[in-house]
Amino acid sequence: MRLVTYSVGPAGPARAGVRVGHRVLDIEAASRVKGEPLPSSIKALLAAGRGALSRVQALAKAAATEARSFSQAMHEERAVRFLPPVPDADKFLCVGKNYRQHLDELVKNELLKEIPQEPTAFVKLNSCLVGQDARVVRPQGVVRLDYEPELVFVIGRRALGVKKVDAMDYVAGVTILNDLTCRDLQKKEVASGSRFWTAKNIPGFGPLGPEIVTMDEIADPYDLWMTCSVNGEERMRVNTRDQIWKLPDILEHFSRYIPIEPGDMFSTGAPGGVAVGKPNATELFLKPGDVIECSIEGIATLRTTIVAPGDA
């Protein structure tokens, strides 16, 4: 099942939807056709529990065969704007330094002072998130803008004191983050000891989506190929098995004392192969006009365009 948050028109409200082929079924509107209404946001839908998700799956199947009954709840894909799948998470934690090759890149470029001995994370602010086909402004003065494709786990139920062996039972699905990073600013923040990571929280620097792919469609989250291309040229391709800290390690660590709520997300780190780690980095940093595609190969692709100030 593919869950989305979408709007109709540039000023339309955010709505929860599910893909039905190349169309989007509005979950709340469809649920009114058959039974009690379901929530109109993905976060609330996840909080409603597995029964609610089962109803969504049943509605999607019914809509595929009973199109006339659901016509008022259905939208053509080209008529909607895809927003971040969870635009209002209580917590979006980005686990850093989670691929060994990327660790080497960070150390070499003085973007990391020490190797962590347990999972570490920074907060990705909701205010920086954008959806599919977003036009992201490269701010004036930024010249070292880098791409970072990351696998994101979306939590489906409240998790507190979770053990590794049970961790995957708390996952609703996965999505993709392009953790855009201003390397100029990141280096200054590392040197100063800052933990806020402004370099990763500039508005627009969080392309997320295009959808949540539920776990019933993922045979093994640790045998997925993550790729990133710029203007059609593949820049990296890595398997998620290469992560140092897997989701069970991550969820056990962060749920020790803090409750992780439905709709909260964990991004699991950038693979090696980003621009800053290559000898011709100056040529590879993102420029206005560049189109970036971050993919879970064969499953989903997140597309973003970089623009100059004033062109968004």
In this predicted structure, what is the pLDDT of residue 99? 81
More confident: 92 or 110: 92
For 2-83, give the CATH class. mainly beta
Task: For residues 191-203, give the mean pLDDT.
Answer: 82
CA atoms within 13 A on the CB side of 297: 14
In this predicted structure, what is the pLDDT of residue 192? 80
Distances (CA, A) of 8 to 16, 77, 78, 194, 273: 12, 10, 10, 39, 37
At 101, which helix (H) or strand (E)? helix 100-108
DSSP code, position 33: H
Task: For residues 82-87, give the mean pLDDT.
Answer: 98
Could you tell me what percent of the chain has a pLDDT over 90?
A: 79
Q: Is the pLDDT of residue 191 over 90?
A: no
Task: Residue count of the chain, please give it.
Answer: 312
For 92-307, give the CATH class. alpha beta
Confidence label for 233 from pLDDT (cuts 50, 70 and 90):
very high
Closest by CA to 307, choosing from 207, 197, 183, 228, is 207
Task: For residues 194-209, give the mean pLDDT.
Answer: 89
The residues spanned by each domain of the chain are: 2-83, 92-307
Q: pLDDT tens-digit profile of 265-309?
A: 999 998 888 998 889 999 999 999 999 999 999 999 999 999 999
